[in-house]
């Protein structure tokens, strides 16, 4: 089967859309805290901004082509000569046909890219003016999202809280029909009584682990420029490992507190390992 240029372009569009999906949703300015008790109960809260990257991208500038300029005409000896009116008309017709073909190809690729991104967004069309409100409504109907307000340009001010028992793993955020998201925070219960806590999205270097460096423009516009927050972990469990600068600090109510400052200069995503009560 012959693979046409348009087929290759469509494949590339879809492939790139899938690759950049890792940084589809990123944190902005926020404060987040997680409390884990020795008995396996936990409470999590996130207050602040989240950024839906496809809605944060500016519209690409239109590409205005230069006006038609006739090419030089030559005689049988190869010397340049003035073009006749018919020759100029023929050149103009060719130029207009090629311009129309380029525009048609670009429109087709733009439509393919938009459709691919719409699929990754669970049916939300990023080119639709109602897309931000549709996304906000989707979050608001999920348990835990007590407030979701669109601030424009893909930025949402949110309040999320959850509590429960760690007889299962916990990941934030999980969003209906939007599965391809790098988790902000994960809590993984191991069968040896330990719990590993990671915050992959709280570091620009972790925004797209599949292909580091791809989508830097996305991160500049949607993540690095806005990423500014704090993540705190409190616990009365034993802290076996962590990557904070200061280490655990005692809290008056008992137990320990780990704190991370998160911004565009953060090198390593926050991590900690706890041992619960046996």
pLDDT in tens, the chain (278 residues): 444 444 444 433 333 443 444 578 899 999 999 999 999 999 999 999 999 988 886 555 556 678 889 999 988 888 898 999 998 899 999 999 989 888 888 878 777 777 777 667 777 888 888 999 999 999 999 999 999 999 998 999 999 999 999 999 999 999 988 877 889 999 999 999 999 999 999 988 654 443 333 344 444 444 455 789 999 999 999 999 999 989 999 998 889 999 999 998 888 999 999 999 75
What the block records as the tokens of 126 is 């990023």
Angstrom distance (rounded) from CA 4 to CA 7 = 5
The residues that bridge with 260 in the sheet, in sequence order, are 231
Total H helices, total E strands in the chain: 5, 14
Which H or E run includes 172? strand 170-172
d(Cα 24, Cα 227) in Å, to the nearest integer? 14
CA–CA distance, 173 with 160 (Å, rounded to integer): 9
Task: Quote the tokens at residue 258.
Answer: 């780990």
Domain 14-60+128-275 has CATH 2.60.40: yes
The residue extents of the domains of the chain are 14-60+128-275
């Amino acid at each position: 089967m012959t693979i046409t240029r348009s087929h290759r372009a469509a494949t590339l569009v879809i492939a790139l859309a899938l690759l950049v999906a890792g940084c589809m949703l990123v944190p902005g300015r926020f404060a987040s805290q997680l409390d884990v008790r020795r008995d396996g109960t936990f409470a999590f809260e996130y207050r602040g901004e989240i950024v839906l990257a496809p809605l944060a991208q500016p519209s690409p500038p239109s590409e205005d082509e230069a006006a038609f300029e006739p090419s030089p005409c030559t005689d049988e000896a190869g010397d340049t000569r003035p073009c006749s009116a018919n020759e100029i008309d023929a050149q103009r017709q060719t130029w207009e046909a090629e311009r129309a073909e380029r525009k048609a190809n670009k429109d087709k690729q733009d439509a393919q890219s938009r459709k691919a991104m719409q699929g990754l967004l669970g049916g939300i069309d990023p080119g639709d003016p109602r897309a931000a409100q549709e996304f906000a409504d989707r979050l608001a109907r999920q348990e835990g999202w007590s407030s979701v307000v669109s601030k424009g340009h893909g930025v949402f001010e949110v309040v999320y809280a959850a509590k429960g028992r760690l007889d299962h793993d916990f990941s934030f955020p999980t969003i209906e029909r939007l599965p391809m998201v790098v988790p902000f925070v994960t809590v993984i219960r191991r069968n040896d009584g330990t719990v590993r806590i990671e915050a992959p999205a709280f570091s620009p270097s972790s925004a797209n682990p599949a292909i580091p460096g791809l989508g830097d423009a996305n991160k500049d516009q949607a993540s690095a420029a806005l990423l500014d927050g704090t993540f705190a972990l409190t616990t009365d469990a034993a802290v076996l490992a962590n990557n904070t600068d200061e280490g655990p600090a005692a809290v008056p109510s008992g137990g320990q507190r780990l704190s991370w400052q998160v911004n565009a200069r953060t090198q390593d995503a926050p991590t900690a390992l706890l041992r619960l009560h046996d």
